[in-house]
Every structure is written in structure tokens, then in C-alpha cells.
Amino acid sequence: MLRYLLVPAAALALALPFTATAQAQQTKVTIGKVIGGDGFHVPTYVALDQEFFKAEGLDASLVELDPRSQVTGVLSGNLDCAPIPSGGAQAALSGAKIIYIVGESLKSQWTITTRQEIGKPEDLKGKVLGYGRQGGADYDEAQAVLHRFFHMDVGRDYKVISFQGEPERIAAMTNNDIQGASLSIPHAAVAEQAGLKVLLRTGDYIPRAGGTVWCSADFVQKNPETVKKIVRAIAKAVMYFRDNKQGSIAVLRHHIGSIKTDEEAGLIWDQLHNTFGAEVPPDLFREILESRRQTMIAARQWPEDKPLPDPESFLARNLLDPTLKEMGYVPTKIEAPVKGN
């Protein structure tokens, strides 16, 4: 009798470590996703659909929210991470305890897309443009290029209407409610199919690290191994997207709402596949925070003579760089902007 009792007990003892391991391998993680999808965040979409998160033992989900709600969600503890670098920079410089953990896009992907009758940027004077919310990258980058390179300012030279989603901007241009809009490259490619045109690409004028993922400092400090797993999943997704066009087309169609055909997705892949990087170059990372500092100075939210804090204090480089090195990640080669001041 004792022998028969011991056998199931031994089997249970052997099974328990496997059960515990299986549970440990499924760590729940929530990451923000902008409404309608976004070209800056493609690596997170690839990591989910190609199960790179799952392979790292993460039960990851993308939560669709507008950028402001993503920032609020992380700061309130209702969302683990957000790929909204500008909003994160505003929060960090305002005193919020946040840490950036991994990069996504290493080149500005915004465009100013217009109706066909707009021949050059100066033709936008007196017109109405559709941007995102003030403080978001889809507002800041478009207005910065028009200001710095064409001496045109919001309010004085053209008007702006804020739209939450990019598909709505395309519809408004088609109806001539607005004459131009800031669109990320995937949505701009769709707009071209609808008879609109890309007037300029902000990446030709200014550098940009877009979609850089950040979390609360508390999350990073308490979950360093989970952070490393997120880094590995994103890095695998970056390398996959560089070389696997067919698989990437399916991901783009799944996550970016305005893409309707494989042809549209393929054109987008052609433009984007070499623009992503899990690494966070110091110069581009500093630009995220410095750009936000300048905006805060203009809004009288930051003293003009107060310098920028050390950007590296907001980045988990001690987790990011060793993790990329250990996995044999190949960094991305990005060309510098082709336009000058």
C-alpha cells in the first residue's frame, strides 16, 4: 500500500516543477497600441503576430488607446508599457518616474500629405491641415519642419484641426474639408492610392527615434527579466521585418487599419523595412527629450535657462545593450536626413 501511495506522490512531485515553469513562462504584459495602427510601432505588431513575445514566455497584449490615454495608463499602473516617446518625455521632464527600455523606429516616418493642387509647401498658406493632438509626434514633427525649413507657423500661416486617427484625416482631405495632413508612411501610401500625394517626408529634414517603448520605473525595477524578454522580442521582430516581406505584409494588413490590399502593404514594406532598430542611439534619444523641452519652454512649462537632465537617466541601457549583444542582434544602418537647414 505504501508503495502505491508513493508512486502518485512522486509523479506529482515531478509534475509540480513543470507546472510552475509553465506558469512562470506566461508573464502577462500589456503594451499600448495607437488607434488604427501606426508605422512607428510595427515591431510590436510583428512580435505579437509572429509569437516572439510568446517565445519569450510573455502573454503580451496590445491595448488600443489614443496616445494621451496610453501615457495616463502607464502612469496610473493600468498599462505596463507605451510606445509613445514624446508623451513619455513630457511626463519624465514633469517629474514622472518612467524608464525607456527598447527602440522601434529610427527614422521619422511622418509625411505632410496633401491634395493634388498643392504644389509646394508654401502653397499651404491660408489652408487647413489635419494633425494629431498638440504635443504628439504627428503634430510636433509636421509643424517643426514647416517652421524650421519653410518659415510657416500654425495660426499665422495656416490653420490646424486635430484628428485622433489617421484614416479620418485621409477622409477629410478627400472631401476637401482639409487640404493637407500629417500621415505616417503606411497611411500616406494608402492616401496616394486614393488620389492624394505626399508633399514632403519629415525624415528628409529631421532625425527621429519613434515608437521608443517606455514603462514606469517601478515596473522596470521590479521586473528586469521581463524587460529583457520584451527587448528580445522586439529585437527579433526588427530583424524579421528587415528580411521577410511576405510575412510582414500579413502583419501590416492585420494591424494598420487603412491598408486594404497586399499591394499597399508591400509598397509600405519597401519603404520601411530598413528603418527600425531595437537599439536606442544616444543622439536620437537625446533629441526626443530636447524636442519636448523646447516645446515646454514655448508653453512656459520649463525655464528657458534650465538645462536638459542627463537623458541616460531615463533609459535602461544596463538592460538594453547587454541583452542585444547576448542575442547577436545586428544594429540598423540609417541614413542621415538629406535636407539641410
CB 46 within 8 A of CB 255: no
Residue 140: pLDDT band by 50, 70, 90 thresholds?
confident
pLDDT at 23 exceeding the cut of 60: no
**Cβ-proximal residues to 308 (8 Å cutoff; 6+ apart), any chain:** 286, 289, 290, 293
pLDDT at residue 132 tops 70:
yes
C-alpha separations of 301 from 78, 90, 293, 297, 304 in Å: 27, 10, 9, 6, 9
Check pLDDT > 80 for residue 290: yes
CA–CA dist 115, 179 (Å, integer) = 6
CA pair distance 172, 176, nearest whole angstrom: 6
pLDDT value at residue 258: 78
Average pLDDT over every residue of 104-125:
94
- Which residue, chain included where needed, has cell 490646424? 160
Cell numbers placing 325? 549583444
Average pLDDT of the residues in 93-120: 95
What does the pLDDT look like over 178-230, one tens digit per residue?
Answer: 999 999 888 898 899 899 999 999 988 877 788 999 999 999 999 999 999 99
Give the CA dihedral 127, 132, 137, 141, nearest 10 degrees: 0
Q: Greater confidence, 189 or 81?
A: 81
Rounded-to-integer distance, Cα 34 and Cα 256, Å: 10
User: Across residues 310-315, what is the average pLDDT?
Assistant: 97
Domains and CATH numbers, the chain: 27-107+209-326 (3.40.190.10), 110-204 (3.40.190.10)
Check pLDDT > 50 for residue 12: no
Give the integer Cα–Cα distance in Å for 42 and 65: 16
